[in-house]
Structure 1
Amino acid sequence: MQTIQKTPFVWFQGNAPFDPEKPTLLFIHGAGLDGRFWQRQMEGLTSSVNCLAITLPGRKTSQLPACTTVAEQASHITAFLDEIKIEKPFICGISMGGAIVLTLLTDNSTRFSGGIIINSGARLRVNPMIFEMVEKDCNHFKNLQTQLSISPSTPADTVKPILDAASIDRPETILKDFRACDDFDIMDRLHQITAPVLILTASDDQLSPVKYGQYLKDHISGSTLICIDRAGHLSPVEAPQPVNRAIADFLSSCSKQNRTDPTPE
């Protein structure tokens, strides 16, 4: 996997240059993580998809401070897309990244071919104890968070290498990420989304339970909901094959629909 750095954005690219015949998919990570979280998607999908995984500001590879709101994070994604000049990409985000995707789609659905929301919701509330734990002992918090984020069916050692690589060590950035999540609420704007949307939930997700995804399905017209069995909040790492299959099928379905839609006169 080739790594490309371009200030103020850092991203990881599966193949360069991009194949114009393939759809382009931008991955957006969750709180306390960076773009390396999507390693198993980049490896599994790059033969059929142009893959990008952005790292948000506030991480060690970025010269910019961490964002304080989801709206600000979304504005960075918009600026990034303006800079690289990719038209009509698909966007995929997990947890906080899913909130960013929802924000981008409500702001301008026509800019995107579709969106994928993984283990996220229209409103994200963070337990106040999390802020205290991050401030007191960030390493202990990260270990506990991992335990709470994976399914009982997932052996911890199968996800540890990717989480170790993708987890950040800046408590101030982690706190800003979680404050951005805690302030996020887009429940009254979901009706504005007109792009195709795939919603992925996970049967054992304690942090963003299945009912969050069901709410999105009920309020985003034409959206599709799939639950990944025997996986938790980190399902793209825990169960990459079913997650990748669901993503690939969604992209293929959208592409077929675009080919069959009549061209406006």
Structure 2
Amino acid sequence: MQTTEKTPFVFFQGKTPFNPEKPSLLFIHGAGLDGRFWKLQMEGLYPAANCFAITLPGRGASPLPACSSVADQASHIAAFLDHMKIEKPFICGISMGGAIVLNLLAENSACFSGGIIINSGARLRVNPGIFEMVEKDFKNFKDLQIQLSISPSTPADTIKPLLDAASIDNPDTITKDFRACDGFDIMDRLHRITAPVLILTASDDQLSPVKYGHYLKEHISGSLMECIEGAGHLSPLETPEAVNQAILHFISSPE
């Protein structure tokens, strides 16, 4: 994990030096996670793109408090891109990260080569019981999280080490993440998105079902949609090859 000198930005960078001839690809994690979530994508895609995986405020080495809205999270991403002078990147986000991508694209599509929305939606309501569980029974919340987030066909013992490595144990930050999700609603602004968009859903996603992806497809002009079979909400960890191949094809295709 890296921080840029005298800045609040915490991020991972691909294995090779920045190459202006390659597309740039920024990954944005979901609620309760950090940039390490994208380890398998960073390893699989760095030969084809300048890869960055940012960690949002309120976790790890970040000196900033967690954001309580998707709009504030998006502002942090925009400031990072400006600081790093990354022009016209592709941005990829899962769940809450997908909401951030949608917000950024709706505000200024011209700044981006395209967006990849993974297992997310135009509105993300959170069950009130989740907030109570995070506050009063954090251990059971963590156990329930993995049960609900993977496909029945995915062995939990293969995913748990990867998820644990990218998970945070700060209930206050996790609560703010879920508050940001719960307050997110971009349904009336999807028509403003003009950048190319790839929507990745997962056949066994219980948290952001495939119908969320269909709604995005219907309301974002020219968007593409692909369903990853045999995966749940954590498809980038469950089926990394399929997810990486879909991303690679999208960022390599001419507009």
TM-score tier, shorter chain, comes to: over 0.9
Counterpart of 2:2 in structure 1 is 4
The one-character-per-residue Cα deviations of 1:13-40 (angstroms, maximum 9, x if unpaired) are: 1134211111100000000000000000
Identity %: 76
Q: Deviations over 1:119-151 (max 9, x none)?
A: 000000000000000001212201111110000
Residues of 2 paired with 1:252 and 1:44: CA distance? 14
Cα deviation code 1:213-237 (max 9, x no counterpart): 0000000000000000000000000
The corresponding residue for 1:84 is 84
Q: Check if 1:27 corresponds to 2:27.
A: yes
The C-alpha deviation readout for 1:186-241, integer Å capped at 9, x for no partner, is 00000000000000000000000000000000000000000000000000000000
Question: What whole-Å deviation, never above 9, does each CA across 1:122-181 have from its counterpart, x for those lacking one?
Answer: 000000000000001212201111110000010011111211111001000000000100
Distance 1:241 1:139 in 2: 31
Give the match for residue 236 of structure 1: 236
The equivalent residue for 1:261 is none
Runs (5+) with no aligned partner, structure 1: 258-265
What is the rounded CA distance, in whole Å, between the counterparts of 1:81 and 1:142 in structure 2?
32
**Shift in Å at residue 49 of structure 1?**
1.0
Q: Which residue of 2 aligns with 1:219?
A: 219
Alignment match, 1:170: 170
- SS of the residue aligned with 2:30? coil
Amino acid aligned to 1:125: R
**Cα RMSD for the two superposed structures:** 0.8
- Once the two structures are superposed, the pairs formed by residues 1-265 of structure 1 within 5 Å of their partners are 3-6=1-4, 7-253=7-253, 256-257=254-255
Amino acid at match of 2:79: A
> Residue 226 of structure 1 aligns to a residue in which SS?
strand
How far, CA to CA, are the matches of 1:141 and 1:76 in structure 2?
A: 28
AA at the equivalent of 2:250: F
Deviations 1:94-129 (A, max 9, x none): 000000000000000000000000000000000000
Instruction: Give the distance between the partners of 1:162 and 1:62, measured in 2 at CA.
Output: 21
Residue 86 of structure 1: how far off its partner (Å): 0.7
Secondary structure in structure 2 of the residue aligned to 1:22:
coil
Distance 2:23 2:160 in 1: 30
Range that drifts further, 199-208 or 150-159: 150-159
> Which secondary structure state, in structure 2, belongs to the residue aligned with residue 44 of structure 1?
helix
Letter in 2 for 1:39: K
| AA partner of residue 138 (structure 2) | C
Unpaired runs of 5+ in structure 2? none
Equivalent residues, number? 253
Q: Aligned AA for 1:170?
A: N
- Partner Cα separation in structure 2 for residue 18 and residue 139 of structure 1: 40
Hey, what's the Cα distance between the residues in 2 that align with 1:240 and 1:56? 22
Helix, strand or coil: the match of 2:226? strand
User: What one-letter code is carried by the residue in structure 1 that aligns with 2:182?
Assistant: D
Deviates more, 1:5-14 or 1:26-35: 5-14
| CA distances 1:223-263 after superposition (whole Å, capped 9, x unpaired) | 0000000000000000000000000000011xx23xxxxxx
Q: Counterparts of 1:91 and 1:49 in 2: how far apart (Å)?
A: 12
Given the two structures, how large is their TM-score scaled by the length of structure 1?
0.94
Aligned partner of residue 221 in structure 1, secondary structure: coil
TM-score by structure 2 length? 0.98
